[in-house]
Structure 1
Amino acid sequence: MKKIYIVTSILLSTVLVSCKKDFLERPPLNQVSEATFWKNANDVYLAVNGVYNQLPGDDMVYDDAAADNAHAQYPWENSATDVSSGNVNAALKAGWDFTAIGRANYFLDNADKVTAIDKTLLERYKAEVRFIRANAYFWLICKFGDVPLSTKTVELGRENIPRTPKAEVLKFVIDELDAIAKILPQSYAGGKPNEKGRITKGAALALKARAHLYDGQWQQAADAASQVMTLGYSLFKVTAEDALNAKDDYSAWVDFANADDEKKFRLGLRSYEALFHQVNEGNVEVILDRQRIPQQDANALNTLLPSADLGGWGSIAPTQELVNSYPSYKTGDLITPPTPAQRAAWYKAKDPAFKNEYKNRDPRFYASILFDGNPWNAIEDGYAFKWTEGAGNTALTGYSVRKMVDPKIYRDQMENHANNILIRYAEVLLTYAEAKNELTGPDGSVYDALDQIRTRAGMPVVDRTKYASQATLRELIRNERRVELAIEGQRYMDIRRWKIAPQVMKSIFSISDALKPIQVRTWTDKLYLMPIPQDQIDLSKGVLKQNSGY
């Protein structure tokens, strides 16, 4: 399948990339003559592809590290280290970036100059770009609240645009998504200019569902998710293991009832982990992904996530609280973990009891978290993770991330060019389940949405008796969302919109020490929103006003 090839030519660099990242990202209009561009359909094709590279990419994993799912140990890589510690001030740029909006506005201001193009195609191109702009505005209001709303190119010297109320920007985003959903196709046949991977109707509706969910608009979120659920997406599944995966011995970790039970567990694990691998990109679960050009545009996940024993940096490590959230494979319920002190004592004494915590857990745990002893022959013959405390480029918590690391790429000693999945069908099912439960409480459709996700993972279906009330099912849905979407960038907003951040943003420790934190974390309510960078306030000559508390 052909991908969208993101343009990096000198021409598009000068047309679509601003000279510096400042307020609303003004394109350098003086560098390309308007008389030599915007002449034909290919110019429009190249320009819209140039906007596509402003979709988020592998940096999404840091949003989990800015929350309670993970620890980012290198503050120079991303703002997540400072955000999670509570060390946030107006010198921090925690996502204040208008590059995508500036590029989109410039495209939309100029695309109609081209007359030698099919009008239906042009409108579709414009809808794709409008989606990218809407997505950028959505994430800005999530992190900053009120932001300047501009749908036209900002000219040099006119940066003093005040912040628009969040509710107005959200309405703009939703109205845009409604409009473009009527223009965008459900799928693409392939070939220029209909490459698979372009933005679809499903992406517009799924982002709309997410926006409504985050804002607590339950009926609208459920309705939008329901629309996506009719478009033919499904959860990715495998039906067999390959030879390398079959070598993994899980008998020390799971008490299988019989051969069928083991097969269910193993296929659940493989289905979940393989949906992120390069060989399966564009699968039936993917609604939107950030395309990567083979051999040119690598993602960094095979470097950021593993520790040094696999050539990685250990940049992002799972927290113990994320580990604790993976339920029992046997019952589907949360486990009772040992106390941090007991865990550390067992670890230091090399007591066999230390390993009991990792037995009989959700298959997604084994697919997502590298813990001491987790086997992974697909990445290296005979490999089992062993944490080396204090080693360079090693995660500090005692765990490393396995999810989204591509073992074939590691074995082939190549860069990882797997697309970054931004929206997938499992999220839509979780959105529907949460919104519907908040509206009316448990019903068959809520249980069915959850059961689809759990069954794909090899887990038991939801116990209708135990989770019969809105309150109990709410807690299960929230935990299911945490486990299913771990390290995919959703947790940052989840703990804020649920107002649980003050309870969960606690200092974190390694498995070996229950007294000395590897990161001290503090929470104050100003952290529900990030600060406007002071240099942007200065650039606006004080028109931009700071968020409360900074």
Structure 2
Amino acid sequence: MITIKKYRLIAVAVMACGYLLSGCESFLEEAVYTEYDPAKLLQTEEGINSVLVSAYGELQFKGNNREFNHTFAEFPTDIALESGGGFEREAVLFMNFQWDESHAFFSNSWSKMYRAIRNANSLLDNIGLATSLPEQRLAELTAEARFIRAAAYFHLYDLFGPVPLITTSETLDMEPVRPSEADFSAFLTAELRAAADALPAVQDMIGKATKGAALAVLCKFYLNTKQWQLSADAADELIGLGQYGLFGAIEELFTVDNETNAEFIYTHPYLPLSGFGNTYMAHAFPPNYPVLPNWENYGAQYRTYTSFVKSFEPGDRRLRMFLTEYTTIQGQQVQLVEDEQGRPLDNARSFKYVPDPSAINAFHGNDCPIIRYADILLSKAEALNELNGPTDDALALLNDIRERAGVSLLTLDNVPTPADFRDAVLRERGWEFFSEGLRRQDLVRHGQFIGSAIARGKAAKPHHVRYPIPRRELEANQQLTQNEGYD
């Protein structure tokens, strides 16, 4: 199946050929190829798709996977750490809660998401020009743009809280203010609802917005803002589509051969090409690991805390995704969990993204799921517990995940109170979604992000549950207000 990335490469090549072959009659009449003219480009579905592909390219974590999924989402938590290479000087700031508003990662992520929003707005402002398209098809393309815009705002909210809502490319407001939590939530949920109502259940390309993807983001936004009933309702609607299910062998879910499985709902696709690949494994290979000749092993090392590895039940199939020992290319046996005296080494490696045999240097083709079906089941279980306490229905959802992992099933006697069930869900989410960029938001939602960090000796403060608005944005917009604690 073709992916967004492949389509984008083809589009760029075609455009480049067109530029090279075009000529001009005189200097004054020379065509300007770098100027975007929506009145001409957006009259056809081909033109609309070219803008959509550009918007998807900004929305996806290509080039920012290291920041979104790991630096922001796991290094400040109880799962992962980093050492070595030039990247260590950046990672250590997040491991030790020493970041500030001047860090380039914040401004880069802000700009990337707002570029996706800009491209989606441009399409939404002008899509009515495509008068020759059937009404239903026009509605689907419009819904894709609304999904992209909403998904970008979802990512921004996860990092910074409510951010300025720019809903048109024709705005004259150069200094938009931050909306209230209520206004931001109302806009985002309305956009996702509208997108879900119009999007098809299945698309022709991996990575494009679907009805399930819109419902999944809606479910997770409701969950993270503790709108429990609405989260459970969105989960039910998604489950009712009948499009998704748990993949049988969890340890094989993230291989390149299994990318088109029914568990991945909302995915960012990758290709084994420079600039388009998943670079996770280049950071996960330990020193002198016997890599293939076409793989690359970075000096920057993603590691896993021993306490997290040892928290799994023995026999948990998800433990198979960790490298706990290996033989170097020199024949030396290396332990990664504990030394001979039983002291933690904090050096196990997550091999969840099983190395791609066809990788080119650091760039592997493993797609990155943003939301998968297991997440929806656990989200619904969590929401039901917050609404009604432990019930058979909530427990069955939790046990679906545990059964797939090959661990003991829980009974209501194991989780007799809402607090017990809440803790069980949080533990399960850690075991299920490590290396997927969800740990920070889960700990924040459960009120354990700061306490967990303090217990590890970090200088975490209550305001660290949100990252700071980038300094560059504050300097450019005098109406922007900084998040509490960063002034």
With normalisation by structure 1, the TM-score equals: 0.73
Question: Which secondary structure state, in structure 2, belongs to the residue aligned with residue 72 of structure 1?
Answer: strand
SS in 1 for 2:479: coil
Alpha-carbon spacing, 1:469–1:388, altered in 2? closer, same or farther (3 Å): closer
SS of 1:67's equivalent? coil
Cα deviation per residue 1:399-441 (whole Å; 9 max; x = unaligned)? 222111325446x989411221111000001001111011111
User: Are residues 1:299 and 2:235 paired?
Assistant: no
* Partner residue in 2 for 1:366: 320
Secondary structure of residue in 1 paired with 2:110:
coil
Partner residue, 1:339: none
Cα offset for 1:99?
A: 1.9
**CA–CA distance in 2 between the matches of 1:61 and 1:90?**
19
> Counterpart in 2 of 1:37?
41
1:200-349 aligned at under 5 Å gives the runs 200-232=210-242, 233-237=244-248, 271-293=249-271, 295=273, 297-308=276-287, 309=289, 310=291, 311-313=296-298, 314-326=300-312, 328=313
> C-alpha offsets along residues 16-35 of structure 1, whole Å, 9 cap, x if unaligned?
xxxxxxxxxxxx99733446
Are residues 37 and 274 of structure 1, via their aligned partners in 2, closer, same or farther at CA, if it must alter by over 3 Å? Answer: same
After the TM superposition, which residues 458-497 of structure 1 pair with which residues of structure 2 at under 5 Å, given as runs?
458-497=406-445
- Offset, 1:470: 2.0
Residue of structure 1 equivalent to 2:55: 51
Aligned positions of 1:58-457 closer than 5 A: 58-59=65-66, 60-62=69-71, 63-73=73-83, 76=87, 80-92=91-103, 93-94=105-106, 95-97=109-111, 98-153=114-169, 158-188=173-203, 194-232=204-242, 233-237=244-248, 271-293=249-271, 295=273, 297-308=276-287, 309=289, 310=291, 311-313=296-298, 314-326=300-312, 328=313, 360-367=314-321, 369-372=322-325, 386-387=335-336, 397-406=346-355, 408-409=357-358, 415-457=363-405
| AA at the equivalent of 2:191 | E
Structure 1 pair 383–101 and aligned structure 2 pair: CA distance change class (3 A): farther
- Output the CA distance in 2 between the equivalents of 1:47 and 1:64: 33
1:276-319 deviations in Å (ceiling 9; x for gaps): 11100020111111123465632212212222324433532112
Q: Unaligned regions of 5+ residues in structure 2, if any?
A: 17-31, 339-344
Partner residue, 1:241: none
CA 1:521–1:454 in 2, change beyond 3 Å: closer, same or farther? same
Partner-residue secondary structure (3-state), 2:143: helix
2:200–2:211 contact (8 Å) kept in structure 1 = yes
The alpha carbon displacement at 1:484 in A equals 0.4
Q: Which runs of 5+ in 1 are unaligned?
A: 14-27, 189-193, 238-270, 329-359, 390-395, 509-519
- Kindly indicate which of the two structures has a greater share of residues assigned to helix: 2
Instruction: Please tell me whether the aligned partners of residues 363 and 457 of structure 1 are also in contact (alpha carbons under 8 angstroms).
Output: yes
Give the count of matched residue pairs: 441
Task: Check if 1:521 corresponds to 2:458.
Answer: yes
Q: Give me the TM-score of the superposition, normalised by structure 2.
A: 0.82
Inter-partner Cα distance in structure 1 for 2:207 and 2:38:
30
Q: Is the 8 A contact 1:85 1:522 kept in 2?
A: yes
Residue number among 442, 453, 456 corresponding to 1:505 in the alignment? 453
Distance 1:142 1:213, change over 3 A: same
Q: Structure 1's 197 and 138: CA in aligned 2 closer, same or farther, altered over 3 A?
A: closer
| Alpha-carbon distance between aligned partners in 2 of 1:438 and 1:80, rounded to the nearest angstrom | 35
> How many angstroms does 1:539 deviate by?
0.9
SS of structure 1 residue aligned to 2:42: coil
Residue identity opposite 1:547 in structure 2 = N
Answer whether contact 2:356 2:366 (CA < 8 A) is retained: no
- 8 Å contact kept, 1:66–1:492: yes
**AA in 1 matched with 2:99:** V
